[in-house]
Amino acid sequence: MSKCIGCGILKQNKDQNLPGYVIKPENEYCLRCFKIKNYNELINQEIDAKSFLDKLTSLIKNQNPNEIEFYYIIDIFDLEGSRVKEIETAIKKYPVTIVVNKIDLLPKAVKLSKIRKYITELFNKSDLQNTNIILNTTFKSNFTNSLLNKIKKTKTNKYFIGSSNVGKSSIINSLLKANNLIPQIVESKYFNTTLDFIQIKLSSEDILFDTPGIARSNSVANLLNKEDWKYIYFNKEIAQNTFQLKSNNTIFYAGLLWVDFSWKNDEVNSFHFFNNKEIKLHRTNSKNAEEYYFRNKENIVPYNEQNEIKQYKFDFSEKDINKEFDISISGLGWFNFKVKNPIKINLNIPGKENVVKLTLRKPLV
């Protein structure tokens, strides 16, 4: 097949989730370009991290560094899982604005100033230091207008990059709508080498580049059928559930995975779970947990088809007493607790080892 005349990607008609997809080989534009050209609408498509980095490196080496600016989108619900450290290293020498998206998922009582401080401290320990940070949701126009005003302040080529399903395409769609303009896909010399970055003329002076989402390799989503991804990538406020747990209690995340809690006395400890409201949490006894999983998983929605169980252990000792922690599970949210006595927490995840990113961190909310 020939290349799309909008973005230069080689056309293909096998997988509509990948760049270059066309319904018919004779179509001049790939589906992604066709949607934006005719319907003012972007769609999500994926690319693996290495291919993205190769394409990004190829593109920016042909441009004046002073004309490049990056908008790096991350997901507040999955901070660690939506970051791509290799990309952060690649763009650290350029102006970067970190857009923390989906803040509408957080409980309404959470102060945005606290979230901003948390993100600032998080990235002060990364390659992206002293960057601009914008909190965003596409569901409120004042956030979109604030981002649009930031974009218009500089006359650089602005690249919107981020992992798949962080809401990057939704952000650009909201910007196009707020600007009251039908976007124009601009052909340029940079699209002669299958870069599949779409150049969008937001106005006569404001140029954006939409890029495919970088495939997430560390999310629980990778253990599910795609029809169940709605439980992982969603747009409703997260649920907060508190359990008063005794030693050897277990909490199940629907039929996806389970968490065992144990300590040496009869004390009750509080654990606060933040997750999609559609993911039902269930308490049981730890000694029956594995049997419960295999006996009931196919009757629970959603469930994990994998049978091989990998266990991930977190031990908290005397030195951790009175400290608070989150354990974040990429794609599922996190749970929060204060260490009152030495605790052992084991996460049991059906699937291949190291498929799901788990992060021990200070509390987000």
Query: So what's the pLDDT on residue 190?
Result: 35
Radius of gyration of the chain (CA): 22
Question: pLDDT band at 111, cuts 50/70/90?
Answer: very high
Contacts of 36 (CB under 8 A, 6+ apart): 42, 183, 185, 198, 200, 210
pTM for the full model? 0.89
Query: So what's the pLDDT on residue 34?
Result: 86
Calculate mean pLDDT across residues 40-50: 81
Query: So what's the pLDDT on residue 37?
Result: 77
* C-alpha–C-alpha distance, residues 114 and 123, integer Å: 15
Q: Is it the case that residue 185 has pLDDT exceeding 80?
A: no
Calculate mean pLDDT across residues 143-169: 91
Query: So what's the pLDDT on residue 150?
Result: 93
Provide the mean pLDDT of the chain: 89
Residue environment code for 286-309, b if the CB has 16+ CB neighbours within 10 A, otherwise e? beebeebbeeebeebebbbebeee
Q: Is it the case that residue 189 has pLDDT exceeding 70?
A: no
User: Taking the CB of residue 272, how many other CB atoms lie within 10 A of it?
Assistant: 16
* Higher per-residue confidence, 63 vs 102: 102
User: Taking the CB of residue 90, how many other CB atoms lie within 10 A of it?
Assistant: 18
C-beta of residue 358 within 8 angstroms of C-beta of residue 259? no
C-beta of residue 344 within 8 angstroms of C-beta of residue 314? yes
Of 15-24, 116-125, 324-333, minimum mean pLDDT range:
15-24
* C-alpha–C-alpha distance, residues 324 and 337, integer Å: 6
Query: So what's the pLDDT on residue 192?
Result: 35
Q: Is it the case that residue 75 has pLDDT exceeding 50?
A: yes
Asked if CATH classification 3.20.20.80 holds for the domain at 40-214, the reply, yes or no, is no
What is the H or E stretch that residue 121 is in? helix 112-123
Query: So what's the pLDDT on residue 191?
Result: 36
Query: So what's the pLDDT on residue 2?
Result: 84
Burial of 62 (0-12, 13-18, 19+ CB in 10 A): exposed
* Higher per-residue confidence, 55 vs 136: 136
C-beta of residue 337 within 8 angstroms of C-beta of residue 302? no
Q: Is it the case that residue 147 has pLDDT exceeding 90?
A: yes
Query: So what's the pLDDT on residue 188?
Result: 41
C-beta of residue 316 within 8 angstroms of C-beta of residue 297? no
SS3 140: coil
Question: pLDDT band at 193, cuts 50/70/90?
Answer: very low
Contacts of 201 (CB under 8 A, 6+ apart): 183, 184, 185, 186, 207
User: Taking the CB of residue 53, how many other CB atoms lie within 10 A of it?
Assistant: 17
* C-alpha–C-alpha distance, residues 7 and 198, integer Å: 5
* Higher per-residue confidence, 45 vs 105: 105
* Higher per-residue confidence, 195 vs 217: 217
Q: Is it the case that residue 186 has pLDDT exceeding 60?
A: no
Query: So what's the pLDDT on residue 187?
Result: 47
* Higher per-residue confidence, 180 vs 161: 161
Torsion of CA 140, 143, 149, 154, to 10 degrees: -130
SS3 84: coil
* C-alpha–C-alpha distance, residues 108 and 44, integer Å: 28
Query: So what's the pLDDT on residue 307?
Result: 84
pLDDT digits (tens, 9 = 90+) for 333-342: 999 999 999 9
Query: So what's the pLDDT on residue 1?
Result: 75
C-beta of residue 197 within 8 angstroms of C-beta of residue 168? no
Calculate mean pLDDT across residues 230-238: 89
Query: So what's the pLDDT on residue 195?
Result: 55
Calculate mean pLDDT across residues 162-177: 87
Domain residue limits, the chain: 40-214, 220-361
C-beta of residue 258 within 8 angstroms of C-beta of residue 281? no
Matching residue, tokens 């021990």: 360
Residue 302, preceding peptide bond in cis (omega within 30° of 0) = yes
Question: pLDDT band at 184, cuts 50/70/90?
Answer: low
pLDDT digits (tens, 9 = 90+) for 260-303: 999 999 999 999 999 999 999 999 999 999 999 999 888 899 98
